[in-house]
Structure 1
Amino acid sequence: MTTTTRPAITIESTVQAPVAKVWEYWNQPEHIKQWAFASEDWHAPKSENDLRIGGTFSTTMAAKDGSFSFDFGGEYTDVKEHKLIEYTLGDGRKVSILFSTMGDSTKVVQTFEAEEENPLEMQRDGWQAILNNFTKYTETH
């Protein structure tokens, strides 16, 4: 039996908002649909989230021109309010998000196991772009 160890990629952002707002905007479907995409020619038309251990989530990410879409989802393995979210994606990869209060701002550190289809730099850049969208949306709404 062969075990494949996937490299872990870590991205981060400091959001100029208190952790309660950051947590709400990260987890509420009406907010997720406003930021869960990597570029302006994409959008997230559908999002469902059952934030609890054993709960599942799914967000549809789609090109605005209708040429491509996919569902990003998984199952929660750990949830500590305002501090930690861990989940397993549908393909078995693990993801961890840490939320740290820094005065009036919140540091978000997300670590995910890389997939094998795309270069690591492309994956890091894509996930960072989504996190940057989250930061911008949260700070301006």
Structure 2
Amino acid sequence: MKTHSASHTTLTIERTLRAPRARAFRAWANPEAKRQWFACHDEWVPLDYSLDFRIGGTEQNRVADSSGIVHAYSAIYLDIVQDARIIYAYDMKLGDATISASLATVAFETTSAGTKMMFTEQVVFLDGYADNSSRLQGTEILLDRVQAFVERETSIVH
């Protein structure tokens, strides 16, 4: 008999971006832009990616790790305020097993240095999945990648 469990945690990460708020927001909103930075393991094989950035729109990302295990991300956008806030819910699967469900908020504020990007994720790890801080590490890598992308890319279009 399978044991069912739910372990909750919250991640909060901030980055100061040397770029305008609109450019930072577009890095999340534009499918071509997001596809360039939305990976935390360059050696993994991309299988498919789609982004329909609107309230009620979805995002799908499937990759295979070096062992061939498929990691699937499936999101729905719940709230979008242009250049200010993105709220989405998503789940993660390893193979056929759902390992987590999350609610994430990305907020953008103009600062004297450029933009403060605040990422907050409320995550539930499911059915004994032991994360061992890999979600935090992967999210930190993703936010480092979006920061580098935003700070070098001046031609992001919407």
- Is the TM value for this pair above 0.5? yes
**Greater per-residue strand proportion:** 2
- Counterpart AA for 1:85: I
- Corresponding residue number in structure 2 for 1:134: 146
Partner of 2:78: 77
C-alpha contact (below 8 Å) 2:62/2:73 kept by paired residues? yes
Cα displacement (A) at 1:19:
0.9
Q: Say whether the 8 Å CA contact 1:85–1:98 is kept in structure 2.
A: yes
Structure 1 residue 46: deviation in Å?
4.1
Pairing 1:23–2:25 present: yes
CA distance in 2, matches of 1:43, 1:34: 14
2:134 is equivalent to residue 122 of structure 1 = yes
Consecutive unaligned residues in structure 1, runs of 5 or more: none
When Rg is computed on C-alpha atoms for both structures, the one with the higher figure is 2
| Aligned length in residues | 138
Task: For structure 2, list consecutive stretches of 5 or more residues without a partner in the other structure.
Answer: 1-5, 92-99, 154-158
Cα deviation 1:81-136 (Å, max 9, x = unaligned): 11111111146421111111113511111111224224363211110101101111
Structure 1 pair 67–24 and aligned structure 2 pair: CA distance change class (3 A): same
Bigger Cα displacement from structure 2, 53-62 vs 24-33: 53-62
Give deviations 1:14-57, integer Å, cap 9, x for gaps: 11110111111121111111111113324656432222221212
Root-mean-square deviation (Å): 2.5
Q: What amino acid is aligned across from residue 123 of structure 2 in structure 1?
A: A
Aligned residue for 2:106, secondary structure, equals strand
Q: Superposed, which structure 2 residues align to 1:2-41 within 5 Å?
A: 6-41=8-43
Percent identity for Structure 1 against Structure 2:
23
Amino acid across the alignment from 2:145 = N
Q: Please tell me whether the aligned partners of residues 114 and 120 of structure 1 are also in contact (alpha carbons under 8 angstroms).
A: no
Asked whether the equivalents of residues 114 and 123 of structure 1 are also in contact (C-alpha less than 8 Å), the reply is no
Q: Does 1:113 align with 2:122?
A: yes
Alignment of 1:23-102 (within 5 A): 23-42=25-44, 46-63=48-65, 67-90=68-91, 92-102=101-111
| Structure-1-length-normalised TM-score | 0.81
- Of stretches 85-94 and 40-49 in structure 1, the one that deviates more from structure 2 is 40-49
Report the alpha carbon displacement of residue 74 of structure 1 after superposing the two structures with TM: 1.2
Greater helix proportion: 1
| Worse overlay, 101-110 or 13-22 | 101-110
Contact 1:17 1:139 in 2 (8 A): yes
- Contact in 2 for aligned 1:33/1:46 (Cα 8 Å): no
